[in-house]
């Protein structure tokens, strides 16, 4: 009878070990999934920041270009002594847009 209970304890211990290994594998898989999810989220955040900052830089540089174009138009006006309309170039804004479109192509 003593050997029966010893054998049963051995079987029970093996089952407990297997259950423990199984739960450890599940826990490890959950940790891996969570780590991957966090990593993907961090990568997406970086991509969003890069995209928004590059859009910001593009719009800022366009504003700078637009300002320079308007300065050039003003210089052109002052050098010629006549208005842009009198020179046959149309309105200042239209000229600025034309130059800006040409410059950014």
Residue spans of the domains in the chain: they are 2-104
In whole angstroms, what is the distance from residue 49 CA to residue 36 CA?
A: 20
- With vertex at residue 93, the alpha carbon angle to CA 90 and CA 99, rounded to the nearest 5 degrees, is 85
Whether 37 shows a pLDDT value over 90: the answer reads yes
Residue in 77, 101, 75 with CA at minimum distance from that of residue 87: 77
Q: What is the pLDDT of residue 34?
A: 93
Six-digit token string for 18: 């297997």
In whole angstroms, what is the distance from residue 91 CA to residue 86 CA?
A: 10
Identify which has the larger pLDDT, 22 or 54: 22
Q: Which tens digit of pLDDT belongs to each residue from 43-102?
A: 888 888 877 777 777 777 777 777 777 777 777 767 666 555 555 555 556 666 666 677
Question: What is the value of pTM for the model shown?
Answer: 0.40
Q: What is the pLDDT of residue 82?
A: 58
In whole angstroms, what is the distance from residue 56 CA to residue 4 CA?
A: 77
């Amino acid at each position: 009878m003593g050997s029966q209970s010893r054998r049963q304890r051995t079987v029970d211990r093996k089952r407990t070990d297997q259950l423990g290994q199984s739960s450890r594998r599940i826990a490890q898989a959950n940790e891996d999934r969570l780590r991957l999810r966090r990593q993907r989220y961090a990568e997406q955040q970086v991509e969003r920041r890069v995209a928004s900052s590059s859009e910001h830089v593009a719009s800022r540089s366009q504003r700078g270009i637009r300002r320079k174009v308007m300065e050039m138009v003003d210089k052109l006006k002052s050098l010629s002594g006549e208005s842009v309309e009198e020179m046959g170039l149309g309105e200042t804004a239209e000229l600025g847009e034309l130059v800006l479109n040409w410059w950014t192509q």
